[in-house]
A = this chain, B = another copy of it.
Amino acid sequence: MTAELWLTQLKDNGYRLTEARKAVVETVAISKRALTPVEVFDQARATSPGLGLVTVYRTLEKLEELGLIQRVHQTHGCQAFISSGNGHEHLLLCTNCGAAVLFSGDKLEALIAAISRQTGYQVEEHWLQLFGVCKKCRKKSVK
Contact = CB atoms under 8 A, between A and B. Distances in A.
Given A73-B78, A92-B115, A128-B126, A121 B133 contact: yes
B126 A138 contact: no
Interface residues of A, number: 35
A101 B122 CA distance: 13
A131 B108 CA distance: 13
Interface in A91-130: 92, 94-95, 101, 103, 105-108, 110-112, 115-116, 118-130
A129 B103 CA distance: 17
14 contacts: A73-B127, A94-B121, A101-B119, A103-B119, A105-B111, A107-B111, A108-B128, A116-B132, A120-B135, A121-B134, A121-B135, A124-B132, A127-B128, A127-B131
